[in-house]
A and B are shown apart, each in its own frame.
Chain A
Amino acid sequence: MNCAECEVLLHALIDGELDAGHASEVEAHAADCAACAQKLAAFRAMRESLNAANLKEAAPARLRGRIEAALPAPTQVIAAGKFARPSRRSFFGGFAAGTAISAAVAASLVLTVWRTDRERTIADEVVSAHIRSLQPGHLMDVETSDQHTVKPWFDGKVDVAPPVIDLTAEGFTLLGGRLDYIDGEPVASVVYRRRKHIINLFVAQRLGSAHDFVSARTIQGYNVRHWSAQGLDFWAVSDLDSVELGEFVGKISAALRPNGPS
């Protein structure tokens, strides 16, 4: 390697963009060439100074406000609030209160009901799918406690790669996976067991309205949790008591976070 090559590649080295072979070539050259070594040190120092200077600028609040105002208004809950039970608010809790209420009042009432009904329909279907899965021979299409077997099994069967998280050590045994249909769409189900209780974790790209928070309800005696993460919708259904299902959801959510255990 000559100095001209080194001058370009040393930046890739600093930025962690070089493969091991080229990286060691650059380092070998710099070890023999004082000028290049000096440059490497100076550019490294500059990079550190740039990082330390915290150059990212905060967008002005008025810009954020302008963009928010320009986006179509989120579904309004105010009009429906008079009619809906308080618990229904949880369906909409994730929506920021928008500004454009005026013209949308009549529409939002219909929309709200429509959304609620749809969410409700899917919740019912999820529970039905859970009950169906409990019939003899229906629980699993792929039966293994190995997450690395379950995950690839879904390839090509559903349009998402469902996260398969092994929680055996935490008391939730991974039993396997199953292809199910909810709302006419193929949905991945990852099956877990806590003692004698089966948990179906349904995963799909869009399955009801997206929730950043976990919504909880009980249908036909089954506890149901619904939330969204990483662009996927998750529904957990079980006859497990609410606290333990909550614990399960907590562990799955923690594992899904970018910095969480995987």
Chain B
Amino acid sequence: MLARLPTASLSLPASGAANGGRRPVVAERDTMAGNADEREKARRFRDAALPHLDDAFTLARYLLRNTTDAEDAVQECYLRALHHFDSYRGPAMKPWLLTILRNVCNAEFARRGKHEPPSAVADTEEALQSPLWQEPQASPESALLRQQDGDTIRRLIAALPVAFREVIVLREINDLSYQEIAQIAGVPVGTVMSRLARARAMLRSAWNAAEGSTP
């Protein structure tokens, strides 16, 4: 289970400071009109955020590699997003939600301690530059790409180190632009490009090494 953090202690991407002067949500419920505003806000939030539930769940599944934790993280993400919905200034809801989700997942990584790297953000670039894997030299089998079924592909992606797994999922499954990925991961676009290049090279060598359905 994920620790439920008080929303006041959230560090939110980009919009964090904008919430500083906002009244607590509880106070807004005091009056009838405030209550109506809350309901109206919740309704607008539903329309804007719920269409991205599958994307959020997919990212959480791949990052946390555990369905129960992923569900908790997505729920926490949506609650936080609702609280900060007033400061949401668009235009794209999906990257905004996924940024929050990533923060929630990082908190979960911190809780898990040493089992996973604390977070992709905390990974220094030095660590990322260290030879985690050997670039496949031009070996005969790496020239072609084997056919792999969906389950094998999922397993291969899940086996990538978290910073690379994240960039692959955001790009290939969540279908986000480099700019959006950079915002979510809190790194420059250039870093997104180099990470993605490494992530794909790692995935490709694992892909070709895996037992495929057809050679």
Cβ distance A247 to chain B, nearest Cβ, rounded Å: 26
Enumerate chain A residues within 8 angstroms of B203, measured Cβ to Cβ: 46
Q: Are B54 and A59 in contact (CB under 8 A)?
A: yes
- The number of chain A residues with a CB under 8 A from chain B is 49
Per-residue B-contact encoding for A46-65, CB less than 8 Å = 1, 0 else: 11011101111111101110
Q: A46-B145, A50-B172, A59-B74 are in contact. List 19 more A-B contacts (CB 8 A).
A: A12-B178, A15-B171, A38-B143, A42-B145, A53-B148, A53-B150, A55-B150, A55-B154, A59-B57, A60-B71, A63-B57, A67-B50, A67-B53, A67-B79, A72-B38, A73-B42, A74-B39, A210-B44, A210-B47
Q: How far is B204's CA from A38's CA once the two chains are assembled, in angstroms?
A: 13
In the complex, which residue of chain A has the Cβ closest to the Cβ of B144?
A: A42
Closest to A42 in B: B145
Task: Say whether A17 faces chain B, with CB atoms less than 8 Å apart.
Answer: yes
In the assembled complex, the CB of A52 is this many whole angstroms from the nearest CB of chain B, namely 9
A66–B73 alpha-carbon span in the complex (Å):
12
* Chain A residues with a Cβ under 8 A of chain B: 7-12, 15, 17, 35, 38, 42-43, 45-47, 49-51, 53-60, 62-64, 66-68, 70-75, 95-96, 107, 110-111, 114-115, 209-210, 212, 231
Q: Is B147 an interface residue (CB 8 A)?
A: yes
In the assembly, what is the distance between CA of A46 and CA of B196, in Å?
13
| Chain B residue at minimum C-beta to C-beta distance from A16 | B177
Minimum CB distance partner of A114 in chain B:
B36
Known: A42-B142, A111-B35. A57 touches B61 (CB 8 A): yes
Rounded to whole Å, the gap between the CB of B69 and the closest CB of chain A is 12
Show the binding face of B for A, using Cβ within 8 Å. Answer: 32-33, 35-36, 38-47, 50, 53-58, 61, 67, 71, 74-75, 78-79, 82, 90, 138, 142-145, 147-150, 153-154, 157, 171-173, 177-178, 193-194, 196-197, 200-201, 203-204, 207
Q: Which residue of A lies closest to B143 (CB)?
A: A38
State in angstroms the CA–CA spacing of A95 and B144 once bound together: 53
Quick check: A45 and B145 within 8 Å, CB to CB?
yes
Closest beta carbon of chain A to B78's beta carbon, Å: 5
CB-contact partner of A66 in B33, B75, B82, B197, under 8 A: B75
Q: In the bound complex, how far is the Cα of B91 from the Cα of A231, in angstroms?
A: 10
Closest Cβ–Cβ distance, residue A110 to chain B (whole Å): 6
Top 8 closest A-B pairs, CB basis? A59-B57, A72-B42, A53-B150, A45-B145, A59-B53, A8-B197, A57-B58, A63-B71
